[in-house]
């Protein structure tokens, strides 16, 4: 299964989601599919400048919160080929989801905002053990770009919680459901 995270510039939110999901996958030893490398994760941006490096504040948030040292990330602009190769596409904002659907209508049914997939558009899919941060009315993962250190940490924490839920949902699916 191929998962693609998408945001605006692919230097912050989608990069953090990709990195955090990879970290979670690496920490899962009890699922055969993960050991066989059947889950592939990548990221891109709707308006990315090819080759831009990850945002320094995003790198710092990942390192301070999760001890993840940022590798040399190079931003990628979303392409039709990427959408075709992906089984699930997660955007950080509802408007990004609609932009993808407008450009690539064939993605219908596999493109979701991250929060929508994790908890449903009204928060009605929550098991009850997720944090309050997931229950707000906003379906978007807010862009911390231009914000302070705290904004980046809060964004990283929110993304971490959401990708944990998404990974649980994916792993709970039977292979024939995918």
Check if 87 is active-site.
Answer: no
Check if 160 is active-site.
Answer: no
Name the active-site residue from 31, 52, 125, 143.
143
Q: Is 137 exposed, middle or buried (0-12, 13-18, 19+ CB in 10 A)?
A: exposed
Name the active-site residue from 12, 13, 155, 160.
13
| Contact criterion met (CB below 8 Å) for 62 and 15 | no
Q: Strand ranges (DSSP E) for 8-149?
A: 40-45, 88-91, 111-113
| Helix, strand, coil share (%) of the chain residues, nearest 5 | 50, 10, 40
Check if 143 is active-site.
Answer: yes
Catalytic residues: 7, 13, 143
């Amino acid at each position: 299964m191929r998962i693609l995270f998408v945001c605006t510039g692919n230097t912050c939110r989608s990069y953090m989601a990709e990195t955090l999901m990879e970290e979670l996958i690496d920490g899962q030893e009890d699922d055969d599919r993960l050991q066989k490398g059947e889950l592939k994760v990548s990221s891109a941006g709707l308006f990315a400048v090819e080759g831009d490096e990850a945002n320094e504040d995003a790198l710092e948030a990942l390192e301070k919160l999760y001890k993840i040292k940022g590798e040399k990330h190079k931003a990628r602009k979303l392409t039709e080929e990427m959408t075709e190769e992906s089984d699930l596409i997660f955007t950080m904002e509802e408007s990004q989801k609609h932009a993808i659907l407008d450009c690539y209508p064939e993605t219908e049914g596999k493109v979701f905002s991250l929060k929508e997939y994790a908890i449903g558009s009204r928060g009605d899919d929550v098991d009850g053990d997720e944090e309050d941060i997931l229950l707000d009315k906003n379906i978007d993962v807010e862009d911390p770009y231009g914000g302070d250190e705290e904004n980046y940490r809060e964004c990283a924490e929110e993304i971490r919680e959401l990708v944990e839920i998404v990974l649980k949902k994916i792993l709970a699916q039977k292979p024939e459901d995918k």
